Every structure is written in structure tokens, then in C-alpha cells.
Amino acid sequence: MANVAVIGAQWGDEGKGKVVDWLASRADIVVRFQGGHNAGHTLVVGGQTYKLSLLPSGLVRGKLGIIGNGVVIDPDALLAEIEKVRAQGLSVGPETLRIAENAPLILPLHGALDRAREGARGDRKIGTTGRGIGPAYEDKVARRAIRVCDLAEPETLSDKLDELLLHHNTLLRGLGAPTFEKRELLDKLLALAPKILPFAEPVWERLDSARKAGKRILFEGAQAVMLDVDHGTYPFVTSSNTVAATASAGSGMGISGVNFVLGIAKAYCTRVGSGPFPTELHDEVGLGLGDRGHEFGTVTGRRRRCGWFDATLVRQAVKVGGIQGLALTKLDVLDGMKEIKVGVGYRIHGETFRRLPAGLRAQAAAEPIFETLEGWSESTRGAKSWADLPAAAVKYVRRIEELIEAPVTLLSTSPERDDTILVRDPFED
């Protein structure tokens, strides 16, 4: 029995919610292992729409959800999300949700610093959500983070807040932003402690026991490979590693705990916020993709930038992300197009590349090299087998497989959970 990690293979928003929900119905445990409440998954189950940011998607299916130590947790956002889904009929309590005791917390000062920095950047904004994720990760690696386990130790909280405020208030003053008082933050954390601590435990022990018992574990990534802090379009990236290898470090599961890595990509490409996007379309075709695909961010609400499928980018994500199979989503959005283009390389200052260089200026200068494929007039929406697809759609998928050097193991043809063509079961060894 295999354990599966699901990661985005583009810039996020690839439709991971539906795929993770589909897989979660067959898993025993679903684990979030990186990111914060700056990413969202939308799930449609039984006519009910759930918008999740921190909670593992498996909770919607009644499965045990785990928030790993690689996630930075805003306790207010978490408690609000729990109440929201409870109001929709879900049962969320310590029996269905566990949180790593060593997970770092996002405090109000993190969000304040995040927003102040973005404001100071002016036209050079990175495009953060302003929710404090980056500053919280900075505190983690600087060894001054307040973690879930610290809520059980008031004296530890008091000492840590002294160091934290010395750092953050200095930065906030320099940016002309309001500073924070220790007493207010300490009282807030002490009030949160009895609400958060019942969920806390050393989740690595639970995962180790589950693995030995043959339980199916699904590791749910946020964002995507091209937003990885090391391998993405830096500095227009998130503040954590989004590749599948992080599932181990971000959960406490050993490196051999992940048996199959499923990457998710749209049949076209989208991006929210700033940063390079070589295959972006600024014309009516791009607007049409956005309208048909309902391209608005789950968390940000921003309209997503749209463009053609970038096979060069996804091939790179396959290599660095450890992707063994691709789930291709939103194929139906391409229905009715006479021709479809695919990015097969870049031209940068007269040179041809089959990779996106790491340098910021080189990325900004990348001009796409397109290959034009035949479109199809028939509908793919709701297809549940290869036989239901137009021949041109099958050719499109096969060409993508060749270009990214990885198989398409799952194909999604509508937002509905069951409108899925399964080629290989990721949970089977």
C-alpha cells in the first residue's frame, strides 16, 4: 500500500482541491506539510462548497486530518476556519484533527510586518497575501518562533516575546508602522492556549504508527513547485519549500514514507500576483480562459493571469519536484478552441532554453517558443474514460506527456469529483 504526496506543478491554483478530495476518500489520514493560510483549496461535495486554507481536505470526507510542523499556523485563522466548516455540518475536534506540537505560530505582528514591507516596496511588490507567512518562517529559521508547544509554558512565552518584540518592533518602527505591546500579545496567547492545545501532539509518532499499520497516508501540498522558495521564480515565490521532499521534513515522516508523488497541472496555465509568466496571454483568448475556468483565487479573490500550457515549466517541476505522474485538470476549459498552443521552450537574449533560468532578469526576458496543436469542437466535460474524449484531445494529452517526460496518470474533466479518468491508482505500489 503506497503513501501519496500531491503537489502543484505550476504556480498553484491547479485544481488540487478536487484531486485531493478524490484521493482523500480512499485515504485514512490526510496531512498538510507546508505553507499557511495563504493558499486555499475549494472542494465541492454533495452540492456543498468548502473553502479550506489550513484544514486538511480529508476532513470533508471524515478522515483524520493532520497539520504538520512544516505549516505556519495563524491560530485565529485556524479557529475561524474550524467554526466555518462546523457551521456547514462538518465534525472537527481533537478526535478528527491533530496539530504538530512543534508547528510555529503566526502572530498579529507577522501580518503587520508583511503588509508594511509590501507597502514600502511600491512598484516592486512581490505580491504576498499580507498574512504574515513569510515573517513567521523567518522567525522559525532565526530560532525565535513561538510554537504550539510554547502555549503550555507561560514562562517560555514571556521570555520569547521579549526577543520577538525586540526584533519586530525595531523593524516596524523603521517602516513607520505601529508597534506591539508584550502584555497584549501575552494575554492573547494565554487565552488561545486552551483552544489550541487539545489538538496538539507529536504527530510524527502517530504517522509512524499509521505507516506500520498499513494505513494510507495522503500528503497535501499547498502552492506549487514554481513558488518553491529554492526552485521557483524567486523572489516571486512563497516562503517555504513546496516540493514533495518537504512532506518528510514538514510532517516528521521518514524520507521513505512517500511512495508516489502526484503533480497537478491545468491543461493551460494561470498565476496570481506578480512575477514572470512567459506563456501569459494578454488578449481575448487569455480573458476567455479566465472566464471559462472561473479563475479567481480561493484565498486572495484576485483574478488569475492566464496563458497557454508551459511544458518547459512543468517538465522542470517534474524533475525538481520528484513528480512521478501528472493529474491534468480543467481539460474541458479548452473545448471549442480551433487551435491550442503549448510552450516548448524559451528564447532569452537570442539563446534558446529548455529550462527557466534562476536569474530574475533572464526570467523576465524569457519569450515563449510555441508549438501549435489542433483543437477540438466536441465537449470533454464530464468524460470518464479515454473513449469519451475527442481524438484531438487525446493527442493533446499525449503530446504533453512527451514534452514533460512524465505520464498523465489522472485526468479531470469538470469540477465534479467523479468526472475523472484514472490511468494509474497512486495508492497502488
Q: Does residue 13 have an active-site annotation?
A: yes
Identify the burial level of 314 via C-beta atoms within 10 angstroms of its C-beta, where 0-12 means exposed, 13-18 middle and 19 or more buried.
Answer: buried
Q: Does residue 282 have an active-site annotation?
A: no
Q: Which of 13, 21, 74, 332 is catalytic?
A: 13
Residue 44 pLDDT exceeds 80: no
Residues of the chain with CATH 3.90.170.10: 265-422
Assign domain 4-100+200-260 to a CATH class.
Answer: alpha beta
H helix or E strand, kind and range, residue 119: helix 108-121
Pairing of strands 367-374, 408-412: unpaired
Give the three-state DSSP class for 240: coil
- Going by pLDDT thresholds of 50, 70 and 90, the confidence category of residue 42 is confident
CB within 8 A of 172, min separation 6: which ones?
Answer: 109, 112, 113, 116, 178, 179, 180
Assign domain 265-422 to a CATH class.
Answer: alpha beta
pLDDT in the model for residue 339: 96
Residue 298 pLDDT exceeds 90: no
Residues of the chain with CATH 1.10.300.10: 108-196
Q: Which of 37, 41, 110, 168 is catalytic?
A: 41
- Domain 108-196, CATH: 1.10.300.10
CB within 8 A of 220, min separation 6: which ones?
Answer: 6, 16, 20, 30, 31, 32, 33, 41, 56, 57, 58
Q: Which amino acid is at 84?
A: K
Q: Are 254 and 248 in contact (CB under 8 A)?
A: yes
pLDDT in the model for residue 188: 96
Q: Which amino acid is at 68?
A: G
pLDDT in the model for residue 257: 87
pLDDT in the model for residue 1: 64
Give the three-state DSSP class for 338: coil
> pLDDT (tens digit, 9 = 90+) per residue, 75-130?
999 999 999 999 998 889 999 999 999 999 999 999 999 899 888 887 777 777 78
Taking residues 16-40, what's their average pLDDT? 87
Find, among 390, 387, 388, 386, the residue nearest to 376 by Cα: 390
> pLDDT (tens digit, 9 = 90+) per residue, 383-425?
999 999 999 999 999 999 999 999 999 999 888 778 889 888 8
As given in the structure block, the three cell numbers for residue 320 are 525538481
> pLDDT (tens digit, 9 = 90+) per residue, 116-152?
988 888 777 777 778 889 999 999 999 999 999 999 9
Q: How far apart are CA 16 and CA 346, in angstroms?
A: 27
